Structure 1
Amino acid sequence: MVDFSKVRAIDFHTHAEEPCGCHSDDGYDDLQTTMAKYFGAPWTHPPTIPQTAAHYREHNIAAVIFPVDAERETGYRRYRNEEVAELAAEHSDILIPFASIDPAKGKLGAREARNLVENHGVQGFKFHPTMQGFYPNDRMAYTLYEAIAETGKPALFHTGQTGVGSGMKGGNGMRLKYSNPMYIDDVAVDFPDMPIILAHPSFPWQEEALSVAQHKPNVYIDLSGWSPKYFPPILVRYANTMLKKKMLFGSDWPMIAPEKWLNAFDQADFRDEVRPLILKENAQRLLSAVA
């Protein structure tokens, strides 16, 4: 288990990657290469989970880490949740495992979710509506949400435009409409005791995300996927005031390194009393409550 008293920050948004070349025939390596160019990532091959752990340990930052199960919609083979959890357990001093399940799996997915929490130490679940091809408030997803709510663990949803598929023909078949955060307002109403995190500044729906987080007590925002120097002023204003206890540091590793994000955060217009909340205290309170 991570000793939160010893780390300087908690990154709530990092991606688990398999060694490059595992599935070269399904196109995932090409997608990763294109994304790396979009984000200006400094690597040739995506870092593995052990490499990720070493990087975060070096910088004394804890990391929530997860795969994305978009196999049905994209054809990219899933990185098995059990394997991700097993590797995270080997680095439990720094990594906090979340899982990802395609909500179209219905009862099968619900059974997997319960098993992952009960037997594999999974601490939350990641959804990517654009990659998984579903509206978050589609009732077909509710069977899985019900199982997650039973476990008490949080659900993290990608929101806004995504760098995944950006610049590729047809956006690599990915439809941005699914990731409007207003669809998650329905989920927050129907599952009021399930912690929900809206991932990323939600361009072009930033105000919708802020309104949902302000209105629903169980909704948080992680600030991953963008450098803080590009944050819209309204996001910074809300982070400094009424949503200061609902904002979470996130990098979007391996596309954005945590130290790069933190360097930009140091220069951004956040209040001194708010910075510790965003970097660590809000995440620690949320994770401790659902442990």
Structure 2
Amino acid sequence: MINIDDLVAIDIHTHAEEPCCGPRDDGYDEFQAAMARYFKNPAGAKGMLPSVAETAAYYRERKIGCVIFPVDAERQTGFRRYSNEEVAEIAAQNSDIMIPFASIDPAKGKLGAREARRLVRDFGVRGFKFHPTMQAFYPNDRDAYVLYEAIAEEGAVTLFHTGQTGVGSGMPGGMGMRLKYSNPLYLDDVAADFPDMPIILAHPSFPWQEEALSVATHKPNVYIDLSGWSPKYFPPILVQYANTILKHKMLFGSDWPAITPDRWLADFENIKIKDEVRPLILKENGRKLLKL
């Protein structure tokens, strides 16, 4: 079990990118190489992405807890998903440092809802990651509600990608991915309809930053994670809200392995966040949300 007092931070947003259940799919190397160019990170080069076990070792060395998940985008990308069960099992083997989330395409409907319940009950999964652009759905689509209902009833957390994505950036047609699905305003409906289900808006939500801040300010169950961008690029209004009315709802996230916590934390030191707010963002807000 995690000893939260021994940790310096909780990274709410890390990816299980390297296959733990077989070789890479055809086309996956090209996709990861484009990601590496976008984030100026060599981790996307062939054979360089960390395994889940290697991720655990990295975070343990730094005394940072991490929420880890795969992304189920088989239907849209053609790449098979990494097993939720296997990611959860490896996280359980590293339970001093890792917190397992899972990912289910909402298009799986009632079957996905059954899977969500089983993952929470049998594998200790604490939350679910959604990527509307990669999964090609609007978060407030009523077809997704059967899955949300299962997640809410099981007391789990939801985490939604918002804003522009580095996935597919620079590739022909952006790999066919459409940014429109990731406007955070669609999550206002979800927050209203599931008021007891925690919802995390992942990333500075470019170009809809003010929409994200509005939803998080208005809905008590909505939080924002600060992953996917170096803090030196945070827009001033995001820093302003982080320092004031949303200081208890901002969460540290890196977007590992695209952005490392070493890089993120170094840049976070150099932005104008109040001293009393820094520990809230780095650990205390995450501790409270995840009930650690």
TM-score range, shorter chain: over 0.9
Shift of 1:226: 0.2
* Residue 151 (structure 1) aligns with: 154
1:77 aligns with 2:80: yes
* Alpha-carbon displacement from aligned partner over 1:198-232 (angstroms, at most 9, x marks no partner): 00000000000000000000000000000000000
Counterpart selection for 1:190 from 185, 190, 193: 193
SS at match of 2:6: coil
1:116 aligns with 2:115: no
* Residue 208 (structure 1) aligns with: 211
The one-letter amino acid paired with 1:35 is M
The one-letter amino acid paired with 1:287 is L
* Residue 5 (structure 1) aligns with: 5
Shift of 1:24: 3.9
* Alpha-carbon displacement from aligned partner over 1:31-76 (angstroms, at most 9, x marks no partner): 1111011101143321110110111011110000000000011111
Counterpart selection for 1:176 from 145, 169, 179: 179
SS at match of 1:140: helix
* Alpha-carbon displacement from aligned partner over 1:242-285 (angstroms, at most 9, x marks no partner): 00000000000000000110000000110000000000000000
Q: Where does the alignment leave 5 or more consecutive residues of structure 1 unmatched?
A: none
* Residue 234 (structure 1) aligns with: 237
Shift of 1:29: 2.1
Instruction: Assess if the C-alpha contact under 8 Å between 2:20 and 2:86 holds in 1.
Output: no
Distance across 2 between alignment mates of 1:20 and 1:11? 21
Instruction: Assess if the C-alpha contact under 8 Å between 2:20 and 2:52 holds in 1.
Output: no
* Residue 164 (structure 1) aligns with: 167
Aligned pairs for 1:1-291 (under 5 A) are: 1-19=1-19, 22-43=22-43, 44=45, 45-288=48-291
Shift of 1:19: 4.2
SS at match of 1:63: strand
Instruction: Assess if the C-alpha contact under 8 Å between 1:20 and 1:29 holds in 2.
Output: no
Distance across 1 between alignment mates of 2:248 and 2:231? 18
Instruction: Assess if the C-alpha contact under 8 Å between 1:26 and 1:75 holds in 2.
Output: no
SS at match of 2:5: coil
Distance across 1 between alignment mates of 2:33 and 2:4? 34
* Segment drifting more, 22-31 vs 157-166: 22-31
Distance 1:22 1:91, change over 3 A: same
CA RMSD of aligned residues (A): 1.2
The one-letter amino acid paired with 2:27 is G
Shift of 1:30: 1.5
Distance 1:24 1:84, change over 3 A: closer
The one-letter amino acid paired with 1:50 is A
* Alpha-carbon displacement from aligned partner over 1:113-163 (angstroms, at most 9, x marks no partner): 000000001010000000000000000000000000001111000000000
SS at match of 1:264: helix
SS at match of 1:278: helix
SS at match of 1:256: coil
Instruction: Assess if the C-alpha contact under 8 Å between 1:19 and 1:46 holds in 2.
Output: no
Give identity over the alignment, percent: 73
Distance across 1 between alignment mates of 2:115 and 2:51? 24
* Segment drifting more, 35-44 vs 166-175: 35-44
